[in-house]
Amino acid sequence: MKKTSLFLFLISSFAGMAQADFEKKLQTKLILAEDGSTINIEAGTYFLTKSLSLEGKKNITLRGKGIDKTVLSFKNQVQGAEGIKIANCENIILEDFTSQDSKGDLIKTMQVKGMTFRRLKAEWLGKPKASNGSYAFYPVLCEQVMIDSCIAIGASDAGIYVGQSKHIVVKNCTAFQNVAGIEIENSLYAEVFNNSAIGNTGGILVFDLPGLIQKKGGFVKVHHNIVKDNNLSNFAPKGNIVGNVPKGTGMMVLATSHVDIYENQILNHATLGVGVISYFMTGLKNKDKEYDPYPTDIQIHNNTFERKDARVPMEGRFGQMYRIKLKFGTQVPHIIFDGILDETKVGKDGKYLPEFAICVRENNGQSSAIIDAEHDFKNIISGSDALNCNPESIKSIQF
């Protein structure tokens, strides 16, 4: 008996030492890695106490043995604002592992040219809550970003967030129980397809915000995604832009231009299927003179919309707007446009010139409304064809 407990004691203390040793060895490998090398992590659950960082390297692969086989848990983290941080690198591949429960963001990559996330899971365990970290996958100021077959769960801001980046592909990913499932912000040339965004507050967001280094996003294609049941109560800390997203949002385009949304399944959203809004709708002041607050050249076509008849939930600014101002009752249009136009792009008929139009056609279950937000919602135009346009003006965005 005594020997057994001694044995158990030895094993547990060695296990603790082995964990600490693993962390130090792995971090040392990342620091000393020669360009072009691959670092493998065996199957197992590893509890890390500090941020893992990779800095200033080229052509490095960090590879586990598979999602939920190799697990990096940051539950016991005592240092660092993110689980994994990669900065100032070229051609980095992260693949085949799970990361969990960091105090801040899970995987942040900054200023990386050629950043691939492949077959990764990044999650906060337990029920979605405001104390979860902000972003699960967080490339910012990167170029050539590939996020493929990744899973993001429980982020208190966005599960997959691409910020101020260029040339981006997000495909085959799953995002659920985040505030925003997938968010493309101030980013250029992004293609988001074959993803599932289910059970978040908002499914897929395409935003342009003022005051940033990369001023202008746009040229974004969103297609063949399943966007469903994004009716989770918004649990983002206020002050963050996604805190404004009402629960029950399928997709939202905020101030971004040249966005093509097609052949998506956009199903069962309590508030809106797709919203196209200007920055004015946030109620925030803009002091950035170079910033363009208007979304223009937005195409929404060949999608399928479904929704059960029900009143919009009375939650947040948008919920109040719907219930007090818009008063759609139980039959709420799938697509709304705030109707606030950039006057420099308007033709003689008072509508956007064709190249700037907000264009909605040929969707299954199509219904839309221009809500005239500029004039206190006085002249709401709703109906299936409220945002109809000449089919010839639908041109696929090229990049």
Partner 1 sequence: MQRIHLIFGLWWVTGILMSLTDFSHKELNYPEKLSEFGFFEGHMKDQIPAGDVVPYALNSPLFSDYAYKLRFIRLPKGLKTAYNPDSVLQFPVGTAIVKTFYYKNDERNEKKGRQLMETRVLLHEAKGWVALPYIWNKEQTEATLEVAGGTQVVAWRDQEGNKKSLEYFVPNMNQCKGCHEKSGKMTPIGPSARQLNGDFDYHSNSKENQLSHWKNLGLIENLPENTSEIPKIPAFNDPKASLDLRARGYLDINCAHCHNPSGPARSSGLFLTWANTHKSSYGFFKAPIAAGRGSGNLAFDIVPGKSHESILAYRMNSADLGIMMPELGRKLIHKEGVALINAWIQSMETH
228 binds partner 1 (CB under 8 A): no
| Binding to partner 1 in span 13-52, by CB under 8 A | 14-15, 17-18, 21-22, 24-32, 50-51
Residues 6+ apart with CB under 8 A from 34: none
Backbone angles phi, psi at 205, to 5 degrees: -120, 140
Angle at the Cα of 216 (from 210 to 220), degrees rounded to 5? 125
Q: And the tokens for 366?
A: 């199509």
Q: Which of 240, 302, 304, 382 binds partner 1 (CB under 8 A)?
A: 240
Between 52 and 386, name the residue whose CB sits nearer to partner 1.
52
Of 24 and 375, nearer to partner 1 (C-beta) is: 24
Residue ranges in 98-157 that form contacts with partner 1 under rule CB under 8 A: 102-105, 110-111, 130-131, 133-135, 138, 140-141, 156-157
- State the nearest-atom distance from the C-beta of 51 to partner 1, in Å: 7
The residue within the footprint of partner 1, chosen from 161, 176, 305, 322 (CB under 8 A), is 161
Instruction: Tell me which residues in 247-286 interact with partner 1 (CB under 8 A).
Output: 284-285
Q: How far is the CB of 24 from partner 1 (least distance, A)?
A: 5
Please identify, using beta-carbon distances, which residue of 102 and 366 lies nearer to partner 1.
102
- Give burial (CB, 10 Å; 0-12/13-18/19+) of 50: middle
As a whole number of angstroms, the longest Cα–Cα distance in the chain is 92
**Which of 187, 218, 226, 182 lies closest to 202 in space, CA to CA?**
182
Alpha-carbon separation of residue 169 from 14, 105, 179, 303, 369 (angstroms): 43, 21, 21, 20, 31
Binding-residue total with partner 1 (CB under 8 A): 69
Binding residue for partner 1 (CB under 8 A) from 64, 128, 154, 163?
163
Amino acid at 204: I
Which lies closer to partner 1 via its Cβ, residue 127 or residue 285?
Answer: 285
Question: Scanning the structure block, which residue is given the tokens 């109040």?
Answer: 320
Map residue 9 onto helix, strand or coil: helix
Residue 19 per-residue DSSP state: H
Q: Which of 46, 47, 54, 253 binds partner 1 (CB under 8 A)?
A: 54
Per-residue contact flags (x/-) with partner 1 for residues 285 to 304, judged by CB under 8 A = x-xx----------------
Rounded to whole angstroms, how far apart are CA atoms 100 and 128? 13
Backbone angles phi, psi at 113, to 5 degrees: -100, 110
List residues binding partner 1 (CB under 8 A): 3-4, 6-7, 10-11, 14-15, 17-18, 21-22, 24-32, 50-51, 53-56, 77-81, 85, 87-88, 102-105, 110-111, 130-131, 133-135, 138, 140-141, 156-157, 161, 163-164, 209, 211-213, 236-241, 243, 284-285, 287-288
